């Protein structure tokens, strides 16, 4: 590896990249719909992996309520979702950290790489999901679904934030790590280096087909450039 191939900043997705919440998010969306509207809501029936929280809320609302939500209805759902998630995440029996995460984050930090988050989850949700594993301590900054409902846009925002944080850092020095083809395409659209990690629902072969710069089976694998 040459010096130019070493990342200056690495941005990580949260769900299925850093942690598996054991269904805590889905249960919390369901609880929010039940509390406000008295109806169950299965986000898995209406959304796909890698979508942002605003997309999840809107598409699930459309599927369950059979109409578009008003902005204040989304605001109420967000509030109830976050309140339920903050409790549920601590009791989720299948919650676990993905293989190699702490070791990789530690090694990147030791190598002088700045770590950030780039997550489709709202900031409050993303940070809450990392709390049981005490992973928030690794991340300096981030961009979230609460910054933009569109993953390509929020990824660009994260890459731009990296450039502002350290003047002179160009997108090709920023690596974006995620478990879905949406993460890969968003990184590419932002001019960043894309790293697919096959710890979610997509295999190495499926992620490779999305055209990333690198693909890892898990974060137990050697990280590119380090």
User: Are the C-beta atoms of residues 33 and 41 closer than 8 Å to each other?
Assistant: yes
pLDDT of residue 3: 40
Do 104 and 76 reside in the same domain of the chain? Answer: no
Residues linked to residue 176 through DSSP beta bridges, in sequence order: 11, 194
With 60 as the cut, is the pLDDT of residue 1 above it?
A: no
User: What are the respective helix, strand and coil percentages of the chain, to the nearest 5?
Assistant: 50, 15, 40
Question: How many distinct structural domains can be found in the chain?
Answer: 2
With 50 as the cut, is the pLDDT of residue 34 above it?
A: yes
pLDDT band at 2 (very low <50, low <70, confident <90, very high): very low
pLDDT band at 46 (very low <50, low <70, confident <90, very high): confident
The backbone torsions φ and ψ at residue 26, rounded to the nearest 5 degrees and listed phi first, read -60, -40
pLDDT of residue 61: 95
Do 78 and 102 reside in the same domain of the chain? Answer: no
In a domain, 221, yes or no: no
With 50 as the cut, is the pLDDT of residue 125 above it?
A: yes
Do 139 and 190 reside in the same domain of the chain? Answer: yes
d(CA 166, CA 202): 33
Tell me the two tokens of residue 190: 């932002």
How far CA 90 is from CA of 79, 80, 98, 100, in Å, comes to 18, 17, 17, 21
Do 69 and 141 reside in the same domain of the chain? Answer: no
Of 36, 70, 91, which one is at a domain's C-terminal end?
91
User: Which range of residues forms the domain containing residue 116?
Assistant: 3-21+95-216
With 70 as the cut, is the pLDDT of residue 124 above it?
A: yes
d(CA 188, CA 46): 26
The radius of gyration computed from the CA coordinates of the chain, to the nearest angstrom, equals 17
Do 111 and 86 reside in the same domain of the chain? Answer: no
With 80 as the cut, is the pLDDT of residue 50 above it?
A: no
Do 30 and 17 reside in the same domain of the chain? Answer: no
With 50 as the cut, is the pLDDT of residue 150 above it?
A: yes
Sign of torsion over alpha carbons 201, 197, 78, 65:
negative
With 50 as the cut, is the pLDDT of residue 4 above it?
A: no
pLDDT digits (tens, 9 = 90+) for 7-18: 999 999 999 999
Of 91, 106, 138, which one is at a domain's C-terminal end?
91
Do 164 and 199 reside in the same domain of the chain? Answer: yes
d(CA 134, CA 176): 21
In a domain, 113, yes or no: yes
Do 110 and 81 reside in the same domain of the chain? Answer: no
For 213, what's the count of Cα atoms within 13 Å in the CB-facing half-sphere? 21
User: Are the C-beta atoms of residues 143 and 154 closer than 8 Å to each other?
Assistant: yes
Orientation of helix 151-165 relative to helix 181-189, angle to 10°: 50
Of 40, 65, 91, which one is at a domain's C-terminal end?
91
Tell me the two tokens of residue 85: 């998630």
User: Are the C-beta atoms of residues 225 and 105 closer than 8 Å to each other?
Assistant: no
Q: Which residues, at least 6 apart from 220, have a Cβ–Cβ distance to it below 8 Å?
A: 99, 100, 103
Where residue 60 sits, what CATH number does that domain have?
1.10.150
What angle (nearest 5°) sits at the alpha carbon of residue 219, between those of residues 218 and 222?
105
């Amino acid at each position: 590896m040459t010096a130019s191939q070493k990342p200056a900043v690495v941005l990580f997705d949260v769900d299925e990249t850093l942690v598996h919440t054991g269904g805590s998010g889905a249960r919390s969306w369901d609880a929010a719909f039940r509390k406000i509207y008295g109806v169950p809501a299965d986000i898995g029936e209406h959304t796909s992996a890698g979508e942002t929280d605003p997309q999840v809320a809107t598409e699930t609302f459309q599927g369950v309520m059979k109409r578009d939500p008003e902005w204040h209805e989304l605001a109420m759902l967000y509030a109830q979702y976050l309140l339920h998630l903050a409790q549920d995440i601590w009791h989720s029996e299948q919650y676990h950290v993905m293989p190699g995460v702490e070791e990789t984050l530690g090694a990147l930090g030791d190598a002088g790489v700045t770590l950030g988050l780039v997550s489709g989850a709202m900031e409050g949700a993303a940070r809450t999901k990392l709390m049981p594993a005490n992973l928030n301590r690794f991340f300096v900054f981030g961009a979230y679904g609460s910054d933009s409902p569109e993953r390509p846009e929020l990824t660009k925002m994260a890459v731009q934030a990296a450039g502002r944080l350290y003047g002179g850092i160009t997108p090709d020095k920023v690596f974006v790590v995620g478990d879905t083809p949406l993460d890969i395409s968003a990184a590419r659209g932002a001019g960043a280096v894309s790293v697919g990690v096959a710890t979610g629902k997509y295999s190495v072969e499926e992620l490779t087909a999305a055209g990333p710069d690198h693909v890892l089976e898990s974060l137990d694998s050697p990280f590119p450039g380090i």
